[in-house]
């Protein structure tokens, strides 16, 4: 079911500062920021050729990642995103296995304009898993 690694996401308290570090220290080519109120984050992507790094900063009072940044003030690894061919089939299989699909349980459109789902970290060895349909 899961295919390629689409991205690894790092939550940061200050996106502009993190972008500067990645550009200056790692020579990263960073995309323009995307403000995504429906996800409560602002994100940029670093294209690695075979995968991506997503840097994300809380957006707004009730950002989904506000609590994460409170717990990890300097930021940290936030989630891993695997690609799936069909998000509805993936959702059925996961629910049949008793995995918790987060939010209202329905896919949302993610930063790449594709449907995404999130799975509870407690069901995947402490790692927040995102699935993106490709």
Ligand X SMILES: CC[C@@H](C(=O)O)C(=O)SCCNC(=O)CCNC(=O)[C@H](O)C(C)(C)COP(=O)(O)OP(=O)(O)OC[C@H]1O[C@@H](n2cnc3c(N)ncnc32)[C@H](O)[C@@H]1OP(=O)(O)O
Minimum CB separation of residue 72 from ligand X in Å reads: 9
Catalytic site residue from 23, 83, 85, 130: 130
Residue 78: DSSP 8-state: E
Binding site for ligand X (CB under 6 A): 9, 36, 39, 41, 43, 54, 56, 64-65, 67-68, 78-79, 81, 102, 110-111, 116, 118, 121, 126-128, 130
Considering the complex, state which of residue 21 and residue 127 has its C-beta at the smaller distance from ligand X: 127
Known active-site residue 130: yes
Residue 132, both tokens: 């993106």
Residue 93, both tokens: 């299989």
Considering the complex, state which of residue 27 and residue 73 has its C-beta at the smaller distance from ligand X: 73
Q: Number of C-alpha atoms within 13 angstroms, CB side, residue 82? A: 14
Per CB under 5 A, which of residues 46..75 are in contact with Co ion? 54
Considering the complex, state which of residue 54 and residue 87 has its C-beta at the smaller distance from ligand X: 54
Task: Choose the contact partner of 39 out of ligand X, Co ion, none; CB within 5 to 8 A by kind.
Answer: ligand X
Cα–Cα distance, 2 to 86 (Å, whole number)? 10
Lateral strand order in the sheet of 5-11? 34-36, 41-47, 52-58, 5-11, 76-84, 128-133, 115-119, 108-109
List strand residue ranges (DSSP E) for 13-134, in order: 34-36, 41-47, 52-58, 76-84, 108-109, 115-119, 128-133
Task: Choose the contact partner of 64 out of Co ion, ligand X, none; CB within 5 to 8 A by kind.
Answer: ligand X
Task: Choose the contact partner of 124 out of Co ion, ligand X, none; CB within 5 to 8 A by kind.
Answer: none
């Amino acid at each position: 079911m899961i295919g390629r690694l689409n991205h690894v996401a790092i939550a940061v308290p200050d996106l502009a500062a993190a972008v500067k570090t990645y550009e200056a220290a790692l020579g990263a080519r960073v995309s323009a920021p995307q403000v995504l109120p429906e996800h409560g984050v602002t994100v940029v992507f670093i294209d690695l050729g075979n995968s991506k790094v997503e840097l994300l900063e809380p957006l707004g009072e009730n950002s989904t990642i506000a609590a994460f940044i409170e717990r990890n003030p300097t930021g940290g690894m936030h989630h891993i995103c695997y690609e799936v061919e069909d998000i509805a089939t993936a959702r059925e299989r996961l629910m049949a296995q008793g995995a918790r699909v987060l939010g209202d349980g329905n896919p949302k459109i993610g930063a790449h304009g594709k449907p995404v789902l999130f799975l509870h970290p407690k069901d995947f060895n402490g790692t927040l898993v995102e699935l993106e349909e490709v």
